[in-house]
Amino acid sequence: MIPAAFEYEAPTELAQAIDRLAKYGGEAKVLAGGQSLIPLMKFRLAQPARIIDLNRIAGLAYVRENGDLRIGALTRETDLEESAVIHDRYAIIADTAAVIADPIVRNLATVGGNVAHADPANDHPATLLALRASVVARGPRGERVIPIDDFFVDTFTTSLAPDEIVTEIRIPRAAPQSGGAYVKFERKIGDFAIVGVAAHILLDAKGNVATAGIGLTNVGPTVIRARRAEESLRGRAPDDKAIAAAADAAAAEAEPVADLRGPVEYKRDLVRVLTTRSLRRAVVRAKGGK
Amino acid sequence: MRVQLTVNGASMQADVEPRLLLVHLIRENLLLTGTHIGCDTTSCGACTVLLDGRPVKSCTVFAVQADGRTVSTVEGLEQNGVLHAVQEGFTKEHGLQCGFCTPGMMMTSVALLERNAAPTELQIRQAISGNLCRCTGYVNIVKAIQYASTKMGEAKAEKQPAAAGRA
């Protein structure tokens, strides 16, 4: 399959890329890892007149923890998966990176692309909701830090302006007695999630849940924050009973539709099961386990 | 657009449309047809080549993105008439039947063994999970990669007997 013809530019400075995007408006698409965009172009579901390739811009791929955790938008999933900081301190992100598409796709696929594409089936959004992350975008008017709850507007639609580029993901620094996990259920490696659930908790001095974050993948028009499930855990000991109640709440908050991956009832029950599993693992990790 | 890239150690130039996919540049401009086009939808891995040493699905990369970079294809594995250990492994362990997935499978294997000389079976299976084979059931492919790992380990030990002795 051959994409429709387009003009190609590969600027070496972010400012140039923003300038081009502002100039061309909706005509242009930004190319990062290309692992979603190029297939869409091959199917001609996307036919941008211009491609602005970000891959020649230096300094957009990094994982740094000084204060909060900062991940450059052009960081490849493989590099995230293999990052010591991610592996040791942000296991929920390592969980997520390791189940995106397949290992070959992950050599090109980027974190920024996964988020900016706003596909409800993409995996990072649920984790970033659970972690209460922010998306940093740069445009002609400067830098904007967008709370993750304000980022996803609809399927394939974000609150980015047409001339803004995602440059970084910011995640609050991992606190002691906190932990999270991402659990994805897929038909086979490389497929989209039937359901994915990200859960992150912070325990207080007594071992009760101080705060919880729960994000649901591919059970709605966008990634979904399971607010009632999060609320149900607050102040409670994260025991089987509390987790079961939260899992029921999350299942009720999901908005799955029937498709080739299963009927509504099945997906809703998967949300319940995977919320249970991810919360259990989050508790283990918050208490210092793996 | 004019692109220059190093393919299997040789510098190549081509004049391409931006929409040309890397796999088409490799097969149709450079006439290196060992790299296959399977699903054409980023699923099967038959088109896997190494871009700056990392396996990528060349049906999902534009040729212009490879400008100035290094590409390795299955044709570059054999050196001076001697098969690469991975190629030898696929032969000896019957790691293929129809052979369609084999070039991509071998490129992924080569990259794996460069990063991890002695992978476990699980690591091998994970590494090739983006390469689909519909003939073998993967058992002999795993054996082929294990064969290559052992052979490359022995060759390294022979080259550095002193180092091996110290260990």
Residues B48 and B28 in one domain: yes
For B75, the token pair is: 């044709």
- Mutate which of A104, A107, A188, A191 to test chain B, going by most B C-beta atoms within 10 A? A104
Q: Which of B43, B76, B109 finishes a domain?
A: B76
Contact A34 B19 (CB under 8 A): no
Annotate chain A with DSSP letters as a single string: --PPP-EEE--SSHHHHHHHHHHHGGGEEEESS-TTHHHHHHTTS---SEEEEGGG-TT---EEEESEEEEETT-BHHHHHH-HHHHHH-HHHHHHHHTSS-HHHHTT-BHHHHHHT--TT-SHHHHHHHTT-EEEEEETTEEEEEEGGGTEEETTEES--TT-EEEEEEEPPPPTTEEEEEEEE-SSTTSPPSEEEEEEEEE-TTSSEEEEEEEEESSSSS-EE-HHHHHHHTTS---HHHHHHHHHHHHHH-----BTTB-HHHHHHHHHHHHHHHHHHHHHHHTT--
- Do A269 and A202 sit in the same domain of this protein? yes
Give residue-wise pLDDT tens across range A134-157. Answer: 999 999 999 999 999 999 999 999
- Shortest alpha-carbon distance between residue A175 and chain B (Å): 32
Q: Which residues pair with A138 in a beta bridge?
A: A143, A165
Decide if B167 is inside a domain: no
Residues B45 and B102 in one domain: no
CB contact under 8 A, A107 and B54: yes
CA B35 – CA B115 distance, rounded (Å): 22
Residues A194, A104 within the same domain: no
Residue A71 lies in a domain: yes
C-alpha distance from B45 to closest chain A C-alpha (Å):
8
Do B154 and B101 belong to one domain?
A: yes
pLDDT of residue A26: 83
Of the pLDDT bands very low, low, confident and very high (cuts 50, 70, 90), residue B160 is confident
Question: CA triplet A150, A153, A156: central angle to 5 degrees?
Answer: 130
- Indicate if B10 and B39 belong to the same structural domain: yes
Q: Are residues A75 and A161 in the same domain?
A: yes
Q: Does the pLDDT value for residue B166 go beyond 80?
A: no
Is A2 within the bounds of a domain?
Answer: no
Q: Which band of pLDDT confidence, cut at 50, 70 and 90, is reported for residue B161?
A: low
Contacts of A41 in chain B (CB under 8 A): 19
B68 and B94 assigned to the same domain:
no
Asked if residue B154 is part of any domain, the answer here is yes
- pLDDT digits 0-9 by tens, A60-110: 999 999 999 999 999 999 999 999 999 999 999 999 999 999 999 999 999
Q: Among B23, B45, B76, where does a domain finish?
A: B76
Task: Give CA separation, A8 vs A42, A45, A51, B22, in Å.
Answer: 16, 18, 5, 15
How many beta-carbon contacts under 8 Å exist across A and B? 80
Check whether residue B107 and residue B61 sit in a common domain.
no
Asked if A186 and A193 touch (Cβ cutoff 8 Å), the reply is yes
Tokens of B130: 């983006």
- For the cut 70, the answer to whether the pLDDT of residue B80 exceeds it is yes
Residue contact A4–B19, C-beta within 8 A: yes
- The verdict on A193 and A145 lying in the same domain is no
pLDDT tier at A290, thresholds 50, 70, 90? confident
Same domain flag for B96 and B66: no
What number is the average pLDDT over the span A254-276?
Answer: 98
Whether residue B22 sits in one domain with residue B60: yes
Nearest CB to B55 within list A5, A101, A104: A104
CB contact under 8 A, A8 and B62: yes
CA B81 to chain A, closest CA, distance in angstroms equals 29
> Which CATH number goes with the domain that contains B151?
1.10.150.120
| Record: contact B61-A102, CB cut-off 8 A | no
Residue A182 lies in a domain: yes
Q: Are residues B15 and B66 in the same domain?
A: yes
Domain of A203? 178-286
Residue A83 · residue A63 · CB < 8 Å: yes
A→B interface, C-beta within 8 Å: 1-8, 10, 31, 34-35, 38-39, 41-42, 51, 53, 55, 78, 101-105, 107-108, 189-190
> Which neighbouring-strand residues pair with A169?
A71, A135
Same domain? For A52 and A67 the reply is no
Give pLDDT, residue B167.
43
pLDDT tens-digit map of A214-254: 999 999 999 999 999 999 999 999 999 999 999 999 999 99
Tell me: do A190 and A278 sit in the same domain.
yes
Domain count, chain A: 3
**What digits encode the pLDDT tens for the residues B88-100?**
999 999 999 999 9
Q: For residues B61-75, give the mean pLDDT.
A: 98
Which of A125, A142, A171 marks a domain boundary? A171
Looking at the structure, do residues B63 and B128 belong to the same domain, yes or no?
A: no
A124 and A159 inside one domain: yes
Looking at A171, A187, A207, which one is the last position of a domain?
Answer: A171
Q: Is residue B166 part of a domain?
A: no
Nearest to A5 among B17, B54, B59 (CB): B17
Residues A98, A90: Cα–Cα separation, whole Å: 13
CATH of the domain at A124: 3.30.465.10
**Order of strands, edge to edge, in the sheet holding B70-72?**
B10-15, B2-7, B70-72, B48-51, B54-57
The answer to whether B129 contacts A7, with C-beta atoms less than 8 Å apart, is: no
Question: Is there a single domain that holds both residue A37 and residue A71?
Answer: no
Number of structural domains chain B divides into:
2
Query: What is the tens place of the pLDDT at every residue in A17-73?
Result: 999 999 998 899 999 999 999 999 999 999 999 999 999 999 999 999 999 999 999
Radius of gyration of chain A (CA): 19
Out of A171, A202, A229, a domain closes at: A171
Considering the domain architecture, whether residues A127 and A225 belong to the same structural domain is answered as no
- Percent share of chain A, pLDDT over 70: 100
Q: For residues B53 and B97, state if they share a domain.
A: no
Contact A38 B62 (CB under 8 A): yes
Shortest CA distance from A78: residue in chain B? B54
Average pLDDT across chain A, whole number: 97
**Same domain, yes or no, for A149 and A185?**
no
B7 and B60 inside one domain: yes
Does the model's ipTM exceed the 0.85 cut? yes
Residues A199 and A276 in one domain: yes
Range of the domain at B156: 85-160
> What's the pLDDT score for residue B50?
98
DSSP state of B75: G
- Residue B165, in any domain of the structure: no
Q: Which of B56, B76, B96 is the last residue of a domain?
A: B76
Residues B156 and B133: their CA atoms lie apart, in Å, by 30
